[in-house]
Chains A and B, each alone.
Chain A
Amino acid sequence: MILLIILLIPFLTGSFLFLFRNNSSIRFVALAASVVNLLLTLLLAFSASASNFAINWINFMGVQFALGYDGISLIMLILTNLLFPFILLAGFNRDQKNVSQLNFLILSTQSALIGVFLAQNAFLFYVFWELALIPVYFILLIWGGDGRRSITLKFFIYTLTGSLFLLFGIIYLYHLTPGNHSTDFAIFRQLHIPESNQIWLFWILFIAFAIKMPVFPFHTWQPSTYTMAPTQGVMILAGVMTKMGIYGALRFLFPIVPLGVLYWQNTIIILSLIGVVYASTIAFRQSNLKKLVAYSSMAHISLMVAAMFVQNQFALQGLLFQVISHGVTIVALFYLVLIIKEKTGTQEFQQMGGLKLKAPQMSIIFLIVVLGSIALPLTAGFVGELLMITGLFRQSAWFAFIGGTTMILGAIYMLYAYQRVMLGEEKSTHEKITDLKSLDYLILVPLIAIILVLGIYPQPIFNLVEESVRSMQNLLSPIATVVSAIVH
């Protein structure tokens, strides 16, 4: 029951707010709802007893409205509910049009995302998966920047194409289930699909996730969308929606088409590693701060995808840890990009420099976030990336070597960006700039605290995912031994 409450709180609050025209207390109500949701989620995470919820929805299609969770869902759920209060806070004291609609859309996205992570039925998963996209589409379309009309449509069509292939895959799996067909994940997991079918089914399912994450070469929607998106939209996209792709892949590919995964494993890892190097290189060449952060996000996600397909304990733990760490870091980074834009009126490096002199505290916070992003020891990023690269090393030293370039190249372009924004000579346009306001501290300090605390003491996250990591590993390992036995 608590799952249903967590699912519905944001949506119901949002719908309630939608009825009001722009009222000053709307943001507070929205924030309060998301904070309550966060508290409930933490309660769920640290309570011993499991909770689930199921009622029949469409009997003749074998669809149940079933909610439940395991360690992986829980990580995603915590991340979502942790980030949304900050995303909502980022709208405070800012001049926005149609506040009630915006908050409605943000809260609806939150509900849909929670639904994606809790759904125990593939059909339900798909419905929430699509539902999450619609409010984001409108956030981008109505509150986005230049060129939003064509960019949002491209983004929408791109992601929907993937989704419809996923739908095809779900229906195909549904029709393979025995007896009265069902779309339950538990039943999907028991299917034994011949390898020749798994090989193509893998791509049908994977494309949706690959576009969402995005994996090279399905990333072309991403840079323009991130650049044009309003800050809250890009926080949702980069912070949480990329994780939908990772979650979907973990939920669908490994349990249902393990042979397909084994067949394509190296292909995907190589594609992801190309993505790592590609995104890092392009990030380095950017003259626009927001674009640079967008490409850096793609580089980090690509490394996570590579680690996901290695499928050993280190890589998986690192991946799930990095899910939290990347989400928190990227939201903090995009928030800083927003403040810098507000203060200097630009995102171009050419017109920036010497911001440290006017805003020393901002420069310190920016530095900490940058260091977290480039995975310096004692930050959360370090724990995640180190584990993932260790995992990659077990597969192949070359993979680890190329994966490791995210850390090196990341350090280069992020520090270079820091240098160009904060250091150097002060620009004349910076006359009236002031340091951070209390609202900015309210957002940035907790995020930095999470980055540092998890960097020093990562154990709580590992405890949460321990069991899921073990079961994920078991999915592939017996089959792997069987396959290698056949080969030899």
Chain B
Amino acid sequence: MSALIFTIVLGIILLYLGFVKNKAILAPVAIAGLMITLFLLFKDWGLGSKYFHDMIVFDNFSIAFNISMVIITILIFFFGIDYYEALEFHVAEHYALMIFALTGAFLMTSFSNLIMLFLGIEILSIPLYVLAGGKKYSYRSNEASFKYFMLGSFATTIFLFGVALVYGASATFYLPEIKIFISQFNGHLPPMMLVGLLFILIGVAFKVAVAPFHFWSPDVYEGAPTLVTAFMSTVVKTAGFAAFFRLLNMGLLPLPVPLEKALWVMTGLTLLIGNLAALKQTNFKRLLAYSSIAHSGFIMLAMLSQHNTSASVILYYTFVYSLATVPIFIIFILMKRAADGSEELSIFRGLYKQKPWIAVFLTILLMSMAGIPPTSGFMAKYQVFVLSISQGYLGISIVAILMAVIGIYYYFFVMREVFTEREQSYPIQVSKINAALIVVCGVAVVMLGIFVWNLPI
């Protein structure tokens, strides 16, 4: 709880630091603040404290996910030092809004009451609507912001309608009570309850961009400032899946059959659409958007293969996925700058000849995304497959494996560009801090693959 309060204060401090003309102090303050948050989170480990009439439960699950999200945010801020230096306008809001979004994410991992989940989603989303429009004079960025806002509020409304229906049927917002309520019916739920739950799931599915509620994500990812895209595809996604898992695990297990069927269809669709659509992309940001949808499919697979290690697998998956995604976005930003704003895949061509070490680490990161051993991305996918196969879902596992092959195809498509020579490659400049962070992430991605952990959460 102290972490949550501290983070909100940190956001407000950052907002006021905007009055100070010196941009350079923002990132260090934000990073130092988040380090303290990290410490406060560690301190709460194992306590399982409950607040506000049990509406918030800071158990190990929520703390583990919060820690993972804070680490990734710190990483993004480190990269932000270089990124925001080049920008003219006020950047204090950007830091503050990301911190506010992070507090929303904290609520999404620790709710035990549907109202808290709703608040979490809203606190997370509203800063993101603003952040997506961060490039004020860019047509695309405005489009992204508007689209995200329209569709996002629509999804939230559906979610809220679902909550109302569930309350109407069960007279409670508390997940454990909903669980007891559901268990009375032996699988034959009253229609109002069923529709309510379905609406709730749709609302959450929208947030994590699971097909068929994924249409916003490529456009928003493409239009939003790249660092914000990196934030959305890592921290926001982690928060979304943590919430999704908590919702199922705390309130809905064992899943009523119609809902289970719906979720499996969504998983299959996500795997297929994410991967197949990524094949056709020539814009790198859109490619990563679809690949992010594809990864959602694998996480869904882990989530639906209910087992006591599912939570740990999802945590591991989202963390190593984020750890690889952020530096890939950063390398992309550097390439894009050198290539005068082009976002095509071909801007990567000739990178190996020009900056061999960056190329090597980009290769490692892409290999992790593709799931090639011994990177952690492989270990993550391996654990997902172990879960789904040991729970007996052989058919969808085969589909997932075929989709993993397609994933490898498009990541290697990028990699191939990196190692193809061209006469005139774009002269990219990598600042020392960015280079160091890329190396750290690359090494971490391999090390996490060799030292795999399994948290009892």
Contact = CB atoms under 8 A, between A and B. Distances in A.
Interface of A: 58, 60-61, 126-127, 130-131, 134, 138, 141-142, 149, 152-153, 156-157, 160-161, 164-165, 167-168, 171-172, 174-175, 181
Contacts of B374: 127, 131
B373 A126 contact: yes
Contacts of A160: 405, 408
A149, A156, A171, A175: residue with the most chain B Cβ atoms closer than 10 Å: A171
A157 B372 contact: no
A138 to B, nearest CB: 7
A134 B372 contact: yes
A153 B408 CA distance: 10
Given A164-B405, A175-B389, A153 B373 contact: no
A172 B401 contact: no
A168 B397 contact: yes
Given A130-B372, A164-B405, A171-B389, A141 B367 contact: no
B154 interface: no
Contacts of A172: 389, 394
A174 to B, nearest CB: 7
B216 interface: no
A152 B419 CA distance: 12
Given A131-B374, A167-B385, A175-B389, A161 B405 contact: yes
A141 B363 CA distance: 13
A164 B298 CA distance: 15
A127 B452 CA distance: 14
Contacts of B408: 156-157, 160
Contacts of A164: 401-402, 404-405
A134 B389 contact: no
29 contacts: A58-B452, A60-B454, A61-B382, A61-B452, A126-B373, A127-B374, A130-B373, A130-B378, A131-B374, A134-B367, A141-B416, A142-B419, A149-B420, A152-B416, A153-B416, A156-B412, A160-B405, A160-B408, A164-B402, A164-B404, A167-B401, A171-B382, A172-B389, A172-B394, A174-B386, A174-B390, A175-B386, A175-B390, A181-B390
Counting from the closest, the 4 A-B pairs by CB-CB distance are A175-B390, A127-B373, A60-B454, A164-B401
B405 A168 contact: no
A171 B419 contact: no
Contacts of A131: 373-374
Contacts of A130: 372-373, 378
B409 A157 contact: yes
B410 to A, nearest CB: 10
A138 B363 CA distance: 11
Interface in B366-385: 367, 372-374, 378, 382-383, 385
A168 B385 contact: yes
A61 B378 CA distance: 14
Contact of A153 (B385, B397, B398, B412): B412
Contacts of A153: 409, 412-413, 416
A160 B410 CA distance: 13
Interface residues on B, range: 20 to 34
Given A60-B454, A157-B408, A171-B389, 13 more contacts: A60-B309, A61-B383, A126-B373, A127-B373, A127-B378, A130-B373, A131-B373, A141-B419, A142-B419, A149-B416, A165-B401, A167-B385, A168-B389
Contacts of B419: 138, 141-142
A61 B409 CA distance: 28
A57 to B, nearest CB: 8
B417 to A, nearest CB: 9
A23 to B, nearest CB: 16
A203 to B, nearest CB: 12
Nearest to B379: A58
Contacts of B367: 134
Contacts of B372: 130, 134
Interface string B391-406: 0001001100110110
A297 B121 CA distance: 61
A135 B394 CA distance: 32
Contacts of A58: 452
A319 B374 CA distance: 32
B390 to A, nearest CB: 4
B113 to A, nearest CB: 33
Contacts of B389: 168, 171-172, 175
A172 B397 CA distance: 11
Nearest to A149: B416
Contacts of B394: 172
A171 B386 contact: yes
Contacts of B452: 58, 61
Most buried by B among A138, A160, A181: A160
Contacts of B378: 127, 130
A249 B383 CA distance: 25
Given A61-B386, A138-B419, A142-B419, A168 B398 contact: yes
A435 B144 CA distance: 69
B73 to A, nearest CB: 28
B445 to A, nearest CB: 15
B34 to A, nearest CB: 30
Contacts of A157: 405, 408-409, 412
B110 to A, nearest CB: 26
A226 to B, nearest CB: 20
A33 B409 CA distance: 34
B412 to A, nearest CB: 6
Nearest to A127: B373
A302 B105 CA distance: 58
B308 to A, nearest CB: 11
A112 to B, nearest CB: 10
Contacts of A126: 373
Nearest to B398: A168
B449 to A, nearest CB: 9
Contacts of A171: 382, 385-386, 389-390
A167 B398 CA distance: 11
Contacts of B401: 164-165, 167-168
A370 B135 CA distance: 69
Contacts of A141: 416, 419
Contacts of A60: 309, 454
Contacts of B413: 153
B422 to A, nearest CB: 12
Interface string B230-251: 0000000000000000000000
A168 B390 CA distance: 11
A60 B382 CA distance: 13
A161 B405 CA distance: 6
Nearest to B418: A141
A95 to B, nearest CB: 17
B224 to A, nearest CB: 31
A105 to B, nearest CB: 12
A168 B386 CA distance: 9
Interface in B410-429: 412-413, 416, 419-420
A460 B394 CA distance: 46
A126 B381 CA distance: 14
Contacts of B386: 61, 171, 174-175
A354 to B, nearest CB: 38
B381 to A, nearest CB: 9
Nearest to A163: B405
